[in-house]
Amino acid sequence: MAFPKNPSSSPTFMTDPKKRAIIYLLPRDKYFLVAFVFGEKAANEALLSGINKDIKTTIESARVYAEGRGFRIEVKNTANVQDIRKRIDIKPAN
C-alpha cells in the first residue's frame, strides 16, 4: 500500500509505485469506501465474474468517462472483502 505525501489525499493501493493506482481508500465514520476506476475491458470482465449482484449493479450503473467507469464499494464488515479482492486482481490485467 502506498500512502500519499499529502495528508488530505486518500491512501491508494499500487502494485508498483511507477504504475497507476489500483484502488483508493476513502475513510468514513466507522467504515470506509473502496473506489475503483475500471476501463471497459476490466468492467466487462468484472460483470462476467462471480461477484456479488449488488456490486455488478454498481458497476453497470457507473457513469462512463474517458478514463473508465468510476465506482465505490462500502466496506462496513468483512462480507464483501472477497469481491473486493477479485476486483483488485482484475484491474492490473486490464
Q: Which structural domain, as residue segments, surrounds residue 53? A: 12-93
pLDDT tens track for 2-61: 444 455 555 555 555 566 667 788 888 888 888 888 889 989 988 998 888 988 999 999
Dihedral (CA of 6, 9, 11, 15) sign:
negative
pLDDT of residue 93: 61
Choose between 77 and 62: higher pLDDT: 62
Q: Please tell me the total count of domains within the chain.
A: 1
pLDDT of residue 63: 92
* Residue 41 domain-assigned (yes or no): yes
- The pTM of the full predicted model, rounded to 2 decimals, is 0.69
Q: Is the pLDDT of residue 62 over 90?
A: yes
pLDDT of residue 2: 44
* Residue 3 domain-assigned (yes or no): no
* Residue 2 domain-assigned (yes or no): no
What region, left, alpha or beta, does residue 19 occupy, with left being phi > 0 and alpha being psi -120 to 50 degrees? beta
